[in-house]
Amino acid sequence: MARRRLLWLLVPVVAITAIAGWNYFGVQQPLSEALAADSRNEGLSVFAHYQWYVNSDVLVFDLRGVSGTNSEADVFRSMLQFAQAVQSRNFSKVILAYKGTPRFMLEGAYFKQLGEEFAFQNPVYTLRTLPEHVYNLDGTPAFGTWTGGLLGVVGHQMQDLNAFGKQWFINDAASGN
């Protein structure tokens, strides 16, 4: 009887420990290493895990905090650095969350592309075209694509990038949430 109770206690503890370790070594450790490699990331608090901690097909990039010394660009750069760190992995989608609340998502193939191109792609191009690849959680595009003259298109893309940042984390961070 005592052995049975002990078993009932040990099995969940072992399972939780295994899941936590799997998430840590699979995605959090690469994120932590990517953030630590760039001093501009100091002040950012980001947590990475699999969806529901067990669905390794979906990655969650959860921004937990931004210090007053960090900019919107720091957050986006940290996401790109993480994409580079896990570029050998395949995910169906990447959920972008703020303090545990999912806000947007990216297709996994696009996140992989961001990681593969991070070392050589023009970061201004990457950032201004990023919103075109951002989806609402229901799968609908969060922002449109733009056509027309270069200056007009770039202007709209940068407006979308700013709107994306505000909706993802800036509005809440500015209000103290």
129-154 tens-digit pLDDT = 999 999 999 999 999 888 888 888 88
- DSSP-derived secondary structure letter, 143: S
pLDDT above 90 for 25: no
Q: Which of 20-24, 41-45, 65-69 has the highest mean pLDDT?
A: 41-45
- In this predicted structure, what is the pLDDT of residue 132? 96
Confidence of residue 12 (pLDDT cuts 50, 70, 90): confident
Closest by CA to 142, choosing from 166, 109, 118, is 166
φ/ψ of 67, rounded to 5, equals -80, 170
Residue 83 contacts residue 130 (beta carbons within 8 Å): no
Confidence of residue 173 (pLDDT cuts 50, 70, 90): confident
Mean pLDDT confidence for 14-29: 87
- In this predicted structure, what is the pLDDT of residue 11? 83
Where are the chain's structural domains?
A: 2-121+133-139
Mean pLDDT confidence for 111-117: 97
- In this predicted structure, what is the pLDDT of residue 7? 77
The rounded mean pLDDT for the chain is: 92
Report the DSSP beta bridge partners of residue 93: 58, 107
Task: State how far the Cα of 134 lies from the Cα of 137, in Å rounded to an integer.
Answer: 10
Residue 99 contacts residue 62 (beta carbons within 8 Å): yes
Residue 63 contacts residue 44 (beta carbons within 8 Å): yes
Mean pLDDT confidence for 1-5: 78
Surface-to-core class of residue 173, CB atoms within 10 Å of its CB (0-12 exposed, 13-18 middle, 19+ buried): buried
CATH of 2-121+133-139, one of 3.40.1350, 1.10.3470, 3.40.50, 3.30.300: 3.30.300
- In this predicted structure, what is the pLDDT of residue 6? 76
pTM: 0.90
- In this predicted structure, what is the pLDDT of residue 2? 77
